[in-house]
Amino acid sequence: MKKRLLFFLLSFVFLSMHSYAQQKTVTGKVLSLSDGAALPGVSVLIKGTVKGSQTNSSGEYSIVAEAKDVLVFQFVGFKTVEKSVGSSATINVQLAEDSKALGEVVVTALGIKQEKRALGSTVTEVKGDVIANSQRENFVNSLQGRVAGLTVNSTSGMPGASASVVIRGINSLSGSNQPLFIVDGLPIDNKSMNTNRMASDKPGSTTATFNRQLDYTNRGADISPNDIESITVLKGPEASALYGIDAASGAIVITTKRGKAGQTRVNYSNDFRLDQITKYPEVQKVYAQGIGGVTDNSVFTQFGQPYAAGAQLYDNIKPFFKDAFTQRHNLSVDGGSDKATYRASLAYTNQEGFVPNTALKRVNLGLSAKAEVSKYVATDLSFNYINDDNDQVFKGDGGPMLGLLIWPSVDDAQVYLNADGSRKFINPTNTKEYENPYFNVNENYNKAKTNRLLSNLGLTISPLKWLKFVGNFGFDIYSTENQVLRSPQSGYALSNNGILDDAVSNTKNFNIQYYASADKKFGKFSTSLKVGSAVTMQNSIVTSVEGLDFQAPDFTSINNTRPSSMRGRTDQVQRRLVGVFGMATMNYDDMVYLNVTGRNDWTSTLPLANRSFFYPSASLSFIFTELNGLKNNSVLSFGKLKASVAQVGKDADPYSIYPALETQLTTGAGFSYGFTAPSPYLKPEKTTSYEIGTELKFFQNRLGVDVAVYNSQSVNQIIKDLRMSYGTGFILAVRNGGKLKNQGVEIQLNGTPIKKNGFTWDILANFTKTNSELQTLPNNLAEYYVSDTWVYANVRNGAVPGQSMTTLTGFDFQRNKNGEVLVDTKTGLPLRDQSKWVPVGDRNPDFNIGLTNSFNYKNWNLSFLFDIRKGGDIWNATEYFMTINGLSKNTLNRTEKVVINGVLKDGKENSDAPTKNTMELDPMTSAAYWNQATGAFLEKDFIEKDINWIRMKELALGYTFPQTMVSRLRGVKSLSLFASVNDLFMITNYKGLDPVVNGNSAAVGGSGATGFDYGNFPLPRGFNFGLKLGL
């Protein structure tokens, strides 16, 4: 028996060696026949097998084959080439372009792949490798500057900061203006936690944060950038009408990676980054604490006498920030056969913030499998698990930035505790003392932990060549634990002896989508008809409790708060949306494409009589270069005219139509109606949009331009939180009313100025100009604003008829008939007009430009992205805060006497000879001069006008090792290194730290608080380096 076993093993070894001897490694390079440029991503397969390889960014490949094998080289848009291996160890190939090959294909509504030439509306695709190479934890931020008409605004550069996306301007006064996020054909949740669902923000609460002090990640950020194959941006109702009311503001369509047929491939990549802030706020260090020229070290305002010579002054600002280290690791395994493929991925992110005790840890696990079960049935299954742990500090009014600015320079802010471990106070008798920034980040916190499951099952049945049935079922389930601590010794909770918020948010979203598709050709006519239905079920429950008055100061638990102070709250939001849709497409001779869609939705959030509504769309694409006489033109390679029109609705928030009962602190307890009145007659918002444009390509696609002009009008605006007469028994209401319009132009240019001798220079530029106007408000209202944006002092995001949707409103001075400022005859100070809010600024830019350049030479790649903005105003509330507290360097001229330019309000102000003001003020000794309510400074004077910037968003250098070098490394198929910098530099006329600011979080609707700078942190500069390895 042993001899037989030994004979078998020896035979196996001999045969294995013989088989191995017949195999060899074949290497080579694949180039374009037309210009000799390297072709990355070319599929290299051994004919008749699933064994294969792929060319790298330099066009190089390596594959193990036998002499009898035939290699098949395939690439989209090029003719397939076959080469016998024979005795060759090196096989170089040139591929010729195939004029009959399928044109550029993009993923559109319902996950349907369509030729871009057939589309009558504008879509933009961003490849997944571009997203991944940007090295952004939140992939949404990587879209800024790359897509015309799209604006991304991040609340800060902190780990887990939320980002809002707006496509083609503001179309809703108080609702969300963010697009719908689609992953592999089905919607996912991208919302940010709204603090109004927490117990501390319950109506009437004195401890609410109003989305001003807390920030929560937009949940779209949970998608791993390395799992993204491509992102298609559907702009406006024309492109997204089939997705229904949730896509009224456009759609971000994400296609994730799937396995590829062939041998099992293992890919690993990493990224290590160092983040630094490059600009620090500055405060004056000439005048000491005090009021009216009298030094007083018990106050925080700095209007005292100059510091004594030799006084020790501390830099409390710069040492506070730290260099932050981030590491990311990505691993994927994929492979399969022609009948079935699989892919598994794992990503780990560990990000530190440049503010102490801020961090983000995230784990992504992804599994996907595609299979052709039979000739008629195919399946596609994906599963994703995300674990997210985010530590944040307070922001804005409650954040450490304002504490850094106002903390006295004579005190070392780092020493924030006394010897006994208690908090050190500047003035122990002041229960509302400003928060020491070090105490703030070490003793207060905002923590969020999320576990999320995403799954999508696709089924395609094709009983006939021209007929198929497609169905998708998916769920998006996640749970987030939030804990917000305001320490018992915190200035924000001292009078309450501590405040603790615990909240658990559970979200369950289910989506079902199915349709039948029939495709037929009649001579030169090709037709396609799709009819289907979609069902969306959303359920979100936030269970929260707030407790005050800690019994033991250092024990963080809701059980440690005074029982009578505990306030519990359960906030449940349920919504169901059912839609039926149809789409008909007709194509004449690959020249004229007509696309017509229609959808009817039934929503649970509107009254029965109004919950069903229909909206259509139509688009036309004319490829005029298919006409005789224009075909095969050596100058104009491609020309298209496009036009589209669409209408889409938008429903209300759940429970807007019925009154709600709330518990009351009455004797024996009880209920009463809440603040908001019922709205039993609500109708859906309706937006009608038009778009025309052209797409041209010149010199064999070396130069291209895509132009779109659009105009949209929205009516029946659903406006939340309208103020009512208290006589109604309510305070707020939700009502229809208001009309607004949006219009703009988008231009996208792409070109390849140089493509020769292995060197390629590619340019991609986009230009966006958007204008909006609020035409009417209900009940002849003079202004509407979202209350959360009233961040500080008297500036807010007021919308005024006849003005832009991004208007800022505030108070002005009283003026006479000639517009001259009226001055108080007793004080010599200007008089404020607090009777009305007037437009004082507009945040909308004149235009935006994104400019990308990419240079490829052999194995090297260098690219950079510029984000450019011209115009738009920013409310620099931080500078206003510093000025009225004597911190700003602009207050150093306080010894100079001042006369307010105006006329006295003495009864003659509107006469032909008003009395010119000559009253002299002494800012050094006058406390009233700096007073916020009655002083010489008006908030609108701190709205910085026409802010411009040129920001280098990304600079990246990469090197791919030649296959001849990689082949020497056993088991390694590809290897590349990269180094990059995010937000390298910025040229701007803004006086604050960073013009990319948001005074709220992405949870706030309408135009939000974009452009509100109040204690905001800047975006850091990040240095990245890493490698990519293929096995």
Its pTM stands at 0.92
In the predicted model, what is the mean pLDDT of the chain? 93
pLDDT, average across residues 587-599: 95
The residues pairing with 45 across neighbouring beta strands, listed in sequence order, are 52, 72
Nearest Cα to Cα of residue 988 among 864, 872, 826, 910: 872
Backbone φ and ψ of 868, nearest 5°: -125, 135
Q: What pLDDT score was predicted for residue 2?
A: 45
Q: Taking 60 as the threshold, does the pLDDT of residue 794 lie above it?
A: yes
Q: How far does CA 444 lie from the centroid of its chain?
A: 27
pLDDT, average across residues 584-596: 95
What are the tens digits of pLDDT across the range 725-763? 888 888 899 999 999 999 999 999 999 999 998 899 999
The residues pairing with 484 across neighbouring beta strands, listed in sequence order, are 446, 501
Same fold, 21-95 and 109-278+323-399+435-806+843-873+948-1030: no
Q: Taking 90 as the threshold, does the pLDDT of residue 528 lie above it?
A: yes
Nearest Cα to Cα of residue 226 among 154, 153, 332: 332
Q: What pLDDT score was predicted for residue 428?
A: 84
Q: What pLDDT score was predicted for residue 18?
A: 43
CA torsion 732-733-736-738 (nearest 10°) is -10
Q: What pLDDT score was predicted for residue 16?
A: 39
Which of 200-209, 546-555, 611-620 has the lowest average pLDDT?
A: 200-209
Residue 185: other Cβ atoms inside 10 A:
21
The residues pairing with 583 across neighbouring beta strands, listed in sequence order, are 530, 597
Q: What is the DSSP string of 118-173?
A: G-SS-EEEEEHHHHHHTT-SSGGGGGTTTSTTEEEEES-SSTT--EEEEESS---S
Q: Taking 70 as the threshold, does the pLDDT of residue 705 lie above it?
A: yes
Which of 5-14, 138-147, 250-259, 268-277 has the lowest average pLDDT?
A: 5-14
Q: What is the DSSP string of 518-552?
A: EEEEETTEEEEEEEEEEEEEEEEEEEEEEEESBSS
Nearest Cα to Cα of residue 648 among 251, 254, 117: 251
CATH class for the domain made up of 109-278+323-399+435-806+843-873+948-1030: mainly beta
Q: Which three-class secondary structure string do you get for 199-261?
A: HHHCCCCCCCCCCCCCCCCCHHHHCCHHHEEEEEEECHHHHHHHHCHHHCCCEEEEEECCCCC
Model confidence at 37, pLDDT cuts 50, 70, 90, reads confident
Q: What pLDDT score was predicted for residue 21?
A: 42
Portion of the chain with pLDDT greater than 70, in percent: 96
Q: What's the rounded Cα separation, in Å, for the pair 873 and 795?
A: 12
Q: Where are the beta strands (DSSP E) in 43-112?
A: 43-46, 52-54, 60-66, 70-74, 81-84, 93-95, 105-107
Residue 21: other Cβ atoms inside 10 A:
9
Task: Give the CATH number of domain 21-95; options: 2.60.40.1120, 2.60.40.420, 3.40.50.300, 1.10.3720.10.
Answer: 2.60.40.1120
pLDDT, average across residues 108-114: 80
Q: Taking 70 as the threshold, does the pLDDT of residue 127 lie above it?
A: yes
Q: What pLDDT score was predicted for residue 373?
A: 94
Buried b (16+ CB within 10 A) or exposed e, 447-470: ebbbebebbbebbbebeeeeebeb
Tokens of 249: 């503001």
Q: Where are the beta strands (DSSP E) in 465-493?
A: 467-486
* Amino acid (1-letter code) at residue 210: F
Q: What's the rounded Cα separation, in Å, for the pair 125 and 123?
A: 7
What are the tens digits of pLDDT across the range 804-819? 999 999 999 999 999 9
Domain spans of the chain, in order of start: 21-95, 109-278+323-399+435-806+843-873+948-1030
* Amino acid (1-letter code) at residue 516: A
What are the tens digits of pLDDT across the range 148-179? 999 999 999 999 999 999 999 999 999 999 99
Q: What's the rounded Cα separation, in Å, for the pair 711 and 644?
A: 11
Q: What pLDDT score was predicted for residue 668?
A: 67
